[in-house]
Amino acid sequence: MLSVKLCDVKLENPTILASGVLGVSGKLMSRVFENGVGAVTTKSISLEPREGHKNPTVLAGDDFIINAVGLSNPGVKASLKEIRYVKSKGIPIIASIVGKDVKDFGVVAKEVSKAKPDFVEVNISCPNVEDELGKPFACSVSDSSAVVKEVKANTSIPIIVKLAPNVSDIKVIAKAVEDAGADVISAINTVGPEKNEFLANKAGGVSGPKIKKIALEKVRSICSVVKIPVIGIGGISTGADAIEMLKAGAVCVGIGSGVYFRGIDVFSKVCDEIKEYMGKNNIKSVDEIKDK
């Protein structure tokens, strides 16, 4: 009833653990799978280990989380072991990658592909390291296209391109990455950066229910111009939220901050709520939701 196909990969349901939340170790990602998720995404992986920003890096409110973690991760070599562990459990896994320049993305993609994840997610949109690495690649048509082409040249694994909301016209960027060879688009990354004196970094990206309206608007815009599948991310913590995103055109929904608001079993809760909606409306498959 809830199963979906993302490219040629079958997921038991349309929920995906978004990058940056619980995607640190193989055992932790396996635990997320036990709590009902359809697929997991690693934290964004760089070529070399990154310490990220100093604490405090996260601030939570009633309907938002601001994070300035700064892409902390153990680097691609250490990450291969964790991806292989998840793969050995039969869990669909998306390896998120980040690079400091176009060539770097290609190198990381080639290395991470050795562990054979189901997808490589190309994070061209993180706003939390803007001062360090420059403007996100997702802000420019030419930069976005160049990164996608470089990654495609270095892996045969389907690639997901993660887009930023902080652009003048997300439709133009979405069409550009599709034309450059993206197999899937995920959107949106956090909104911001937003200034906050509590954070050591003094600014961070906003996620949680507060950004759901923005996420829905961006996903609708993307789906109006591309033919490839879209993973909708931003403010999803209930089945009703997920249904809104699916009606906006998304094939799957990414959940990150929802773990904070509803617990690690948010995935099974959301799936139960989608199932209840489908039963009440005589909907037989997730694909039908967008037409109701």
Look-up: residue for tokens 């599709």? 178
DSSP letter (8 states) at residue 19? T
| Neighbour-count burial of 161, counting CB atoms closer than 10 A to its CB (0-12 exposed, 13-18 middle, 19+ buried) | buried
Radius of gyration of the chain (CA): 17
The residues, any chain, with a CB within 8 Å of residue 262's CB and separated by 6 or more, are 237, 238, 269
Q: Measuring CA to CA, which residue among 255, 201, 208 is closest to residue 51?
A: 201
Q: Which of 126, 139, 252, 271 is catalytic?
A: 126
Would residue 235 be called left, alpha or beta, if left means φ above 0 and alpha means ψ between -120 and 50 degrees? left
Examine the residue annotation and report whether 126 is marked as an active-site residue of this protein.
yes
- Residues with active-site annotation: 126
